[in-house]
Amino acid sequence: MEAKSHHPVWKTLLAFAIVYLVWGSTYFAIRVGIREVPPFLLAAIRFLISGLVLYGWMIARGERSPSGRQWMSASLLGLLIFVFDFGLVFWAEQHVPSGMTAVMMAMIAVFIALLEIFVTRTEKLTGRLALALLTGIGGVAVLTSNSLNIGGAAIDRAGAVALIVASLGMAVATALMPKLPLPESRVMSSGTQMLAGAMFLTLLSAWQGEFRNFHPLAVSHAAWLALLYMIVAASIIAFTAYVWLIHNESPTKAGTYAYVNPVVAVLIGYFLGGETLGRRTILGTLLILVSVVAITTMRVKKPERG
């Protein structure tokens, strides 16, 4: 196996800090944005601009435009990732606190493991893995069950279901990605997927009648700044930092964002958004994160965010 090239420690630390803090804080930015911009429309704008930037950057660097088959693959992944995953995340944050949204989305790792055990059969169900999966499912039950008397209200049921579907959508996309013909460049591949996803999100937004309720001049500077932050910081800068980490650090280290981001999101939601941090939240978060840590340390595949 080819050894990783050596880079200054500060570059590695900066890349990790960007991925941890920016992707973790994106959930709060979504919450700020959807207060004034309809969720599917906000997601469509974010990924249309982000996709155009990434795609245009690659074309300017001399990268070949994707073939028809590659665009079809990108469209399928765009539907799964940017409609069923991100679109539902944006919608769910109307009902679920941003910190809890991030915690629920950590279940992507659980669904990937389940798919590999029962569908693709590329993973064997061991006792340790079964315990990790049950722990994660138990964490979701703690957060969503009204019958548990552990303090604090359970999160909104419809929002929780949407986030579970979103996690499953990303898990399916992650399982399909290696099997589909896609551009060799990760940046070009992501750009085309974002563009395809943005088109689907725009259609969904129009079908939901979001354009009728959207008045750009009435949107505050805070909401526009939140959108700008999602585009520049989360979709471009943090994604670039993550790609750099993949090429310069082990997959296990690069994938630690999967369980650091939820902690960052919970803390930001608590300190900046006034979200509750009671016993239910703490217990459910701990159970899910323990599950994700156990699963990701025994496997090398990691779901991508951006």
Task: Count how many Cα atoms sit within 13 Å of the Cα of residue 103 in the half-sphere of its side chain.
Answer: 34
Instruction: Give the Cα separation of 266 and 230 in Å (integer).
Output: 18
pLDDT by 10s per residue, the chain, length 306: 444 556 788 899 999 999 999 999 999 999 999 999 999 999 999 999 999 999 999 999 999 999 999 999 999 999 999 999 999 999 999 999 999 999 999 999 899 999 989 988 888 899 999 999 999 999 999 999 887 778 778 999 999 999 999 999 999 998 899 899 999 998 999 999 999 999 999 999 999 999 997 999 999 999 999 999 999 999 999 998 998 888 888 767 888 898 899 999 999 999 999 998 989 999 999 999 999 999 988 754 444 455
DSSP 5: P
Instruction: Give the Cα separation of 286 and 178 in Å (integer).
Output: 31
pTM summary value: 0.92
Q: CB of 257 within 8 A of CB of 305?
A: yes
Q: Considering only CA atoms, which of 85, 105, 104 is closest in space to residue 40?
A: 85
Each domain of the chain, given as residue ranges in start order, spans: 9-297
**Residue 295 class from Cβ within 10 Å (0-12 exposed, 13-18 middle, 19+ buried)?**
buried
Instruction: Give the Cα separation of 52 and 192 in Å (integer).
Output: 8
**Residue 76 class from Cβ within 10 Å (0-12 exposed, 13-18 middle, 19+ buried)?**
middle
Instruction: Give the Cα separation of 172 and 240 in Å (integer).
Output: 23
Instruction: Give the Cα separation of 98 and 109 in Å (integer).
Output: 19
In one-letter notation, the amino acid at residue 231 is I
